Amino acid sequence: MSDYYDDHDSGAPTEPSSVASPTGPNNREPPPPVEENGRLYHPRGRYHFPSDQAEKDRLNLQHEAWLLTFNGELGLCPKIREMGHNVLDIGTGTGVWAIDYALKHKGSMVTGLDITGHPSPGPMNYKLEVDDCEDQDWQWLGNIDFVFARAMTGCFETMEYIVDQAKFHLRPNGWLEIQGLEGLCLRLFTQQLNWTREQVLEFCSRARQQLKDRNIHAYLPM
């Protein structure tokens, strides 16, 4: 995880934003968590991972693993290096990815959307919105340049709604990047991109080969 106060480029110094300053029209107060078996959980819905400090630590550590996997980059699509102005991170968790992106691209506005909403200090161009991304049209976000979703397998009733919203609200030349698992790719790429099952499996197989290529990627014992 990047140090929030670590200036990533030679742009203007980053001022801290107020922690979690929600502005979306549908923004909600994060519901109080429920305690079960010594862990805290979101009180309703389909999301079954905890939402406590141990989970936040896990998400932040997992972010490091993603960075190692992608050779220090935040992802693969062109909007990782070339700035997206209006960026949406669906299911932002601790906001660790969104905050890193905002720090790297200070001219961007990055919205982290999450049903739980963990307030994290971030730069002025990062904001947290607490809402269920399946509950509403994303119109209030305006035209989006880059939609990012990571580790969201099993979070949604239907992934089609998410992809449709992204397609509808992305500007021309906008990008949707989903980082996840083969099962998710199979459903999405066959239904939305009309790939065959074999094409998707070959794609995933090539991705796995590259993940194992130690000339490209670094690994740490965890």
Which residues are at the interface with ligand SAM (CB under 6 A)?
Answer: 42, 47, 49, 59, 63, 91-93, 96-97, 113-116, 132-134, 150-152, 155-156
* Cβ closest to ligand SAM, residue 154 vs residue 204: 154
Q: How far is the CB of 32 from ligand SAM (least distance, A)?
A: 14
* Cβ closest to ligand SAM, residue 55 vs residue 145: 55
What type of residue sits at position 166?
A
Query: Which tokens belong to 100?
Result: 């890193």
Short-list 148, 139, 68, CA closest to 108: 148
Q: How far is the CB of 165 from ligand SAM (least distance, A)?
A: 11
Could you write out the DSSP letters of every residue in 42-72? -SSSS--SB-SHHHHHHHHHHHHHHHHHTTT
* Cβ closest to ligand SAM, residue 170 vs residue 178: 178
* Cβ closest to ligand SAM, residue 116 vs residue 165: 116
Q: How far is the CB of 145 from ligand SAM (least distance, A)?
A: 18
* Cβ closest to ligand SAM, residue 180 vs residue 201: 180
* Cβ closest to ligand SAM, residue 42 vs residue 79: 42
Q: State the Cα–Cα distance between residues 35 and 169, nearest whole angstrom.
A: 37
* Cβ closest to ligand SAM, residue 86 vs residue 92: 92
Q: State the Cα–Cα distance between residues 68 and 62, nearest whole angstrom.
A: 10
Q: How far is the CB of 74 from ligand SAM (least distance, A)?
A: 11
Instruction: Report which DSSP code applies to 39.
Output: E
Q: Please give the sequence-ordered ranges of beta strands (E in DSSP) within 66-169, or none if there are none.
A: 86-90, 109-114, 126-130, 144-150
Strand partners, 87: 110, 146
Q: How far is the CB of 197 from ligand SAM (least distance, A)?
A: 26
Short-list 85, 47, 94, CA closest to 66: 94
Q: How far is the CB of 153 from ligand SAM (least distance, A)?
A: 8
Query: Do residues 42 and 31 make contact, with C-beta atoms less than 8 angstroms apart?
Result: yes
Query: Do residues 50 and 163 make contact, with C-beta atoms less than 8 angstroms apart?
Result: no
Q: How far is the CB of 59 from ligand SAM (least distance, A)?
A: 4
